[in-house]
């Protein structure tokens, strides 16, 4: 089990986790850690460390310290990292190999940063990643590209991870799998995109128009859905819309 960046910065610091609530994620992290200990699953605690001049996670700062909920829990290894992935530039990969560990159960923060980066990195290294959906979390994000609520961001990242990068499950589902020594269900990009292959021509046109309206634009096509549905051989929605 990899417990990622459960630090004060995310609790009462400058990056307050918004979804799932800390009242949900922290108890689930603690419960998962207890279950891992009982099952003989090694626990690695990861701590992000930034330069002393950094506004967040500064070395030696209160915000950078491990949160009390996990700081005193028995662990097999404490890893300090400076990059997003817990495997990048740390001793973790070598430690996993030396202990013949090929499956990583990820908890902690933030979903779209260090949790996702670690899951993707693990997959690229031939490891199996699991992500506990209610023992992770994030916060609202807004910049010049747009804005996302913590919930929308968290849920969308988990959907993407389940499409081939990790097995995503609740803490309770993971506990059941541990008790049964069973693997969590996984998916892949083909299975995850099945709904897109069953859209009707009308639905595709409606989505195209909706996307244009969201951008404040008018769909530059007078093609009726009925015309598209009746398109002859070799004609596609793309060709009819001028794509």
Residue 2's H or E segment, with its range, is strand 2-4
Alpha-carbon distance of 27 to 97, in angstroms, equals 30
Tell me the per-residue pLDDT of 110-162, one tens digit each, with 9 for 90 and over.
999 999 999 999 999 999 999 999 999 999 999 999 999 999 999 999 999 99
Domain boundaries, the chain: 2-188, 199-240
Q: pLDDT tens digits, residue range 109-118?
A: 999 999 999 9
CA dist., res. 20 & res. 132, Å (int): 11
Torsion of CA 136, 5, 34, 128, to 10 degrees: 70
Digit-coded pLDDT (tens) for 83-114: 999 999 999 999 999 999 999 999 999 999 99
**CATH dotted code for 2-188:** 3.40.50.850
Question: Angle, to 10 degrees, between the axis of helix 171-180 and the axis of helix 22-38?
Answer: 10
CA-only gyration radius of the chain, Å: 22
- Number of Cβ within 10 Å of residue 129's Cβ equals 24
| Bridge partners, residue 7, by sequence | 66
């Amino acid at each position: 089990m990899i417990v990622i960046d459960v630090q004060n910065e995310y609790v009462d610091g400058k990056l307050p986790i918004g979804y799932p609530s800390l009242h949900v994620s922290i108890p689930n992290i603690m419960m998962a850690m207890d279950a891992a200990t009982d099952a003989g699953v090694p626990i690695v605690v990861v701590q992000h460390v930034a330069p002393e001049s950094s506004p967040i996670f500064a070395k030696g700062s209160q915000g950078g310290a491990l949160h009390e909920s996990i700081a005193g829990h028995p662990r097999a290894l404490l890893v300090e990292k400076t990059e997003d992935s817990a495997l990048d530039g740390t001793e973790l990969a070598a430690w996993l190999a030396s202990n013949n560990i090929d499956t990583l159960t990820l908890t902690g923060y933030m979903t779209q940063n260090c949790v996702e980066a670690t899951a993707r990195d693990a997959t690229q290294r031939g490891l199996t990643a699991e992500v506990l959906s209610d023992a992770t979390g994030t916060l609202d994000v807004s910049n010049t590209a747009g804005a996302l609520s913590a919930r929308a961001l968290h849920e969308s990242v988990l959907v993407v991870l389940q499409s081939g990068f990790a097995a995503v499950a609740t803490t309770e589902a993971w506990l059941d799998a541990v008790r049964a020594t069973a693997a969590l269900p996984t998916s892949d990009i083909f299975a995850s995109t099945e709904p897109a292959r069953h859209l009707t021509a009308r639905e595709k046109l409606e989505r195209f128009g909706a996307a244009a309206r969201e951008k404040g634009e008018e769909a530059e096509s007078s093609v009726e859905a009925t015309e598209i549905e009746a398109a002859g051989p070799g004609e596609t929605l793309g060709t009819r819309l001028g794509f």
